[in-house]
Chain A
Amino acid sequence: MRLVVDIERLAVTVSQAIFDNRAKATVCDASMRSPKSRGIHKGNAMTTRKTILCDAADARIGVTLPGKQLARRGALRAVAIAGVAALLLGAAPFAARAAGPIKIGVLLPLSGNFAVLGQQALTGMKIYLDQVGNKAGDNPIELLVEDSQGKPDVAVTKARKLVQGEGAQVLTGVVSSGVALATNDYSRDNKVPLVLSADAGVTELTMPGPLANPYLVRTSQNGRAVGAVGADWAYKKGWRKVVTIGSDYAGGLDVDYAFGQEFCSLGGRVVQAEWSPIGTADFGPYLTNIDRTADAVIAFAPGADGLRLARQYSDFGLKGKLPVLDLFGTLVYEPNLPQLGDATLGMYSVLFYTPMLKTPENQSFVAEFKKRMHFMPANEGPNGYVGAEAIVDAVKAVNGDLSDTMKFMAALRAVKFDSPKGPISLDKYGQVIQPMYIRETEKVDGQTANVPIATYKSVDQFWPYTEAEYASFKYTYKDAKNAMTDCTRLLAKK
């Protein structure tokens, strides 16, 4: 997908570059034809070097002295005028933050690779806000939506626009981890509350360390908890030797590393770790390489990669022979399930959500989501919903007065409610504590769906370790490529 876009862009640029050569020739002709430059060409002998340059007319810009002096005087006068104007204008007060609706700035990718995720999160937010009549208590809520394009530099610009330009009091949304890191800096520097509610799973963001930010909470998830829960279940299932296939980017390393670490500490082992680049079109080489003596395959491949991996896994005849545990539900991604037919039947997956949860909160959410998006919600819809609910609850708790940012942050961290994802609360670092579900893909009413088969009731970011235990590990996921198959390294202490 990404590659296709690039090639298209390339084609456009190539044709423009060729076109541009032609354009330049025209510029040249025009200046040759212009009466002034013709004069110059006639005046000079055609044999001198300069005359072959059609732009030679410019040579006349050896400006005479009086002109220069005049310009300088003009410059001084203009600068003086500008200076006075500046002083006058500087005294004018800027529009103060008017009392009125609570403005929530939403940063989501609405174009580009992550657009689908951004749309789902936005729908989730809107479902919740419509449900409460766009009000937090007596305070009307206004959503200001900006397209972050999934690019950190654009996102920071948009964050500035939302906060400084339009008076947003809270920022929320954010899908890609690069955007999360950049926006986190912005939030910390400018003391603006940031509610990550649409993925943004960088594990360290909500842990003590260089990224820690008192103005941050995350109601979506982090990368490692899902991996760790997956490992625990895999071990209990009786698997001891597994192969991992993970997307080769920060998110993939984070998730797979957490799996490997927990699996090793229980006594299992990753015997083979494969990394596929984002946008892998053909998983054939990876699938043929898989060690068939392993007990299971642990997969993580978000986006279109998951769709292709799921289909090829079945095409290669591995389905039914080597069970799959899909971390984050990337192969059995709900919007993709209808097109995959029976290919995903029997796959296991682990996520903090499944649309098959039989709770009143979830059932009404799923019904509304299906009406608006015409497919089943996966992770981002409920994430957006929960983020909006957390913000509204916190606004209510401070009676709509967001002037004391720390008080508002304390209210945010204290929120606790039953959501489509299950019971939600936040830890002291602002990271969500939520249930995790092991799901199996089955036929329900003629359609494949991820049915919950086991629940881990409340999983925090360090699960199953305490904060101190987690902090004592020597390596982090950044080291995943050297460590996945090496338990001593995965479990090494400082």
Chain B
Amino acid sequence: MKARVWPFIGAVAVLALLIALPDILRPYYVGLATRMLIFALFAMSLDLLLGYAGLASLGHAAYFGVAAYTIALLVLRAGVDSGIAFPAALVAAAIIGALFAPLALRARGSYFLMITFALAQVVWSVAFGWRSLTNGDDGMPGVTRPYFGWSLDNTTSFYYFALAVIGIAALLLFAIVKSPFGRALRGIRESESRMQALGYNVWRHQYAAFVLSAFFAGIAGALYAYFNRFVGPEYLYVVQSAEALIMVILGGAGTLLGPAIGAALIVFLEDFVSSLTEHWVLVLGVIYVLVTLFAPRGLIGLYVDFRQRRALK
């Protein structure tokens, strides 16, 4: 009984802290917190694929970027209202996921990784090369934020908007991984053939996970476009995909909390360390190596180990 109450109290405390954040922190750090939240969602969406379905994708930036570009294109090129562009962006991300999945799911392991990588690079090169539409490498500045009866133009109001959207998305993700579907995914991760033998349609489960994962990455991408009011091909680039993978692995794949923590930590460290030294990439590299050596299951794995050791005493 007691053991079950603590996580709830923890969750509530974190939520309260998140809600009170703009009053505690200076505006810049509220902006940073918004970025952390957005990347937390992005990492969680990837984890649905990597941690639960066991499919390591190196093309996750595609869905993130496609959603961001959909918003920028609809708002800046078609003059659509920024709020209406939001659902359109999510649909676009999911469609790209639905199109890529049949191609990528033909392979497993590092081949899956390479195919998702290649597909994402195709999207990147379209954004980079189709200058008349996307402005190429200059990117598209001037994306407006949606207006739902109140302005999201200041840092605090946008933070609450992002918090609400990401909160709902995270709850949905939790519901998905706790559902029979989520359990089946984990089963597939451990043994595809066994799940097949038990009568599960493995391919269909993986396909659904792929599309869902793209959909949630799309939410993060759309929010990021609003947040920066700018969209550029970097959003689609392999570096973005790889960073998401590192976030998931650093935090601990196979849990939703882990990648969220990993994402927040990496966003924070990049910001913090890069202000202290020009050689921040080196510092981050050392941190990755240390985590890999001493916490091979990610930061969340450290915590799980710690609890188990205490339970055994």
Contacts and interface: CB of A to CB of B under 8 A. Distances in A.
Q: Do A and B belong to a common assembly? A: yes
Interface string B265-288: 000001100110010110000000
A152 B296 contact: no
B19 interface: yes
A14 B136 CA distance: 29
B271 A67 contact: no
A50 interface: yes
Given A27-B301, A28-B190, A153-B234, A164 B242 contact: no
B31 A164 contact: yes
B190 A53 contact: yes
A160 B110 CA distance: 39
Contacts of A164: 26-28, 31, 155
A157 interface: yes
B249 A20 contact: yes
B139 A152 contact: yes
Contacts of B23: 85-87, 89-90
9 contacts: A6-B238, A24-B51, A52-B198, A67-B1, A78-B13, A79-B12, A82-B20, A182-B232, A250-B137
B151 interface: no
B189 interface: yes
Contacts of A198: none
A110 interface: yes
Contacts of B26: 94-95, 164-165
A152 B5 CA distance: 44
B297 A185 contact: no
Contacts of A160: 27-28, 31
Contacts of A154: 270
Nearest to A204: B138
A264 interface: no
B4 A67 contact: yes
Interface in A6-52: 6, 9-10, 12-14, 16-21, 23-24, 26-28, 30, 34-35, 49-50, 52
Given A75-B12, A82-B17, A10 B58 contact: yes
Residue in A20, A149, A158 whose Cβ sees the most chain B Cβ within 10 Å: A20
Contact of A85 (B20, B113, B139, B275): B20
Interface string B131-149: 1100111110110000000
Interface string A462-489: 0000000000000000110100000000
Interface string B23-64: 110111101100100000000000000110010101000000
Interface of A: 6, 9-10, 12-14, 16-21, 23-24, 26-28, 30, 34-35, 49-50, 52-56, 58, 61, 63, 67, 70-71, 74-75, 78-79, 81-83, 85-87, 89-90, 94-95, 110-111, 146-147, 149, 151-154, 156-158, 160-161, 163-165, 177-178, 181-182, 184-185, 189, 202, 210-211, 249-250, 253, 478-479, 481
A167 B230 CA distance: 23
A14 B246 CA distance: 11
A34 B311 CA distance: 9
A35 B313 CA distance: 13
A50 B195 CA distance: 11
A185 B230 contact: yes
Given A146-B274, A157-B35, A52 B110 contact: no
A184 B132 CA distance: 21
A249 B136 contact: yes
Given A52-B194, A94-B26, A177-B137, A74 B12 contact: yes
B172 interface: no
Given A10-B117, A56-B183, A161-B271, 15 more contacts: A13-B245, A16-B245, A16-B249, A23-B298, A24-B51, A27-B254, A52-B194, A53-B183, A78-B13, A90-B23, A95-B26, A149-B274, A153-B230, A157-B271, A478-B135
Contact of B230 (A6, A12, A95, A152): A152
B239 interface: yes
B253 interface: yes
B166 to A, nearest CB: 17
A23 B301 contact: yes
Contacts of B311: 34-35
Contacts of A94: 26
A180 to B, nearest CB: 9
- Among all A-B residue pairs, the 7 with the closest Cβ atoms: A165-B28, A82-B16, A17-B56, A164-B28, A71-B8, A182-B230, A86-B23
Residue in B135, B194, B224, B228 whose Cβ sees the most chain A Cβ within 10 Å: B228
Interface of B: 1, 4-5, 8-9, 12-13, 15-17, 19-20, 23-24, 26-29, 31-32, 35, 50-51, 54, 56, 58, 109-110, 113, 117, 131-132, 135-139, 141-142, 155, 178, 183, 186-187, 189-191, 194, 198, 224, 228-230, 232, 234-235, 238-239, 242, 245-246, 249, 253-254, 270-271, 274-275, 278, 280-281, 292, 296-298, 301, 304-305, 308, 311
Contact of A178 (B51, B131, B139): B139
Contacts of A165: 26, 28-29
Contacts of B4: 61, 63, 67
B245 A17 contact: yes
Contact of B138 (A18, A156, A189, A250): A250
A54 B110 CA distance: 25
A163 B28 CA distance: 8
B178 A61 contact: yes
Residue in A71, A153, A481 whose Cβ sees the most chain B Cβ within 10 Å: A153
A19 B16 contact: no
B250 to A, nearest CB: 10
A156 B35 CA distance: 11
B274 A147 contact: yes
Contact of A161 (B28, B187, B189, B292): B28
Contacts of A184: 141
A16 B16 contact: no
Nearest to B9: A74
Contacts of A177: 137-138
Contact of A74 (B8, B117, B249): B8
Contacts of A14: 110, 113
A66 B15 CA distance: 21
A220 B155 CA distance: 32
B131 A253 contact: yes
Given A21-B54, A85-B20, A78 B12 contact: yes
A31 to B, nearest CB: 9
Contact of A156 (B183, B228, B281, B298): B228
Nearest to B138: A250
B228 A152 contact: yes
Contacts of A156: 228, 230
Nearest to A482: B132
Contacts of B254: 24, 27
Contacts of B183: 50, 53, 55-56
A73 to B, nearest CB: 10
